[in-house]
Amino acid sequence: MYYVNQEQIDARLAFVPELLQACAALESAWEARGKTGVKEADSELLLHFAQERTLHLAIETVTDVGSLLIDAFMMRDASSYEDIVEILAGEGVFGADVALVLTELVKLRRPLTQEYNTLPRSGLHPTIAKLPGALSAFADAVPAFIRKEML
């Protein structure tokens, strides 16, 4: 029998709607800036920092849940953040399309956490627009996988 830390998984998945809301707000804010043509340096910097934090929180959510699943179902040990996504996709937690976006996402962890002082900051990060679909699919797929495996 497997021990699934359902409480921790649920707590992290419950955060996904906030990430989706942040992505939508960021997309709207960047779109509005483009329409008005007004580019205030301070507000642009805040938008960059907000999207970087949103990406970082999305990475942590995906990798935390992924690690909990790997531990619970005794999957092979992950050697990297990208490997967490690869293992979950290989185990059938989610499909290749979601894995592609989530891999792109987790590859941003090092730049966001270690190279933040040299990050290029121009416009909306392309991953922000891809996140809502992938995170929604991830949040739906995880409980479905757990139910299937617990049968």
The model's pLDDT over 40-55, given as tens digits with 9 standing for 90+, comes to: 777 899 999 999 999 9
Q: Helix 96-106 crosses helix 81-90 at what angle (to 10 degrees)?
A: 170
pLDDT at res. 2: 75
pLDDT of residue 3: 87
Q: What angle do CA 82, 85, 87 make, to 5 degrees?
A: 105
User: What whole-number distance in Å separates Cα of residue 82 and Cα of residue 129?
Assistant: 20
Q: What is the pLDDT of residue 37?
A: 64
- Domain residue spans of the chain: 6-150
State the number of CA atoms in the 13 A half-sphere of 10 facing the CB. Answer: 4
pLDDT of residue 101: 98
Q: Note the pLDDT of residue 38.
A: 62
Token pair for residue 60?
A: 């942590």
10-residue stretch averages of pLDDT, the chain, 151 residues long:
89 98 96 74 90 98 97 90 97 97 98 95 94 98 95 86
- Rounded to 5 degrees, what angle do the CA atoms 117, 60, 53 make? 40
Continuous segment of H or E residues that includes residue 2: none
Superfamily of domain 6-150: bsu32300-like (1.20.120.580)
| Cα 114 to Cα 132: distance, rounded to the nearest angstrom | 25
Q: What's residue 35's pLDDT?
A: 75
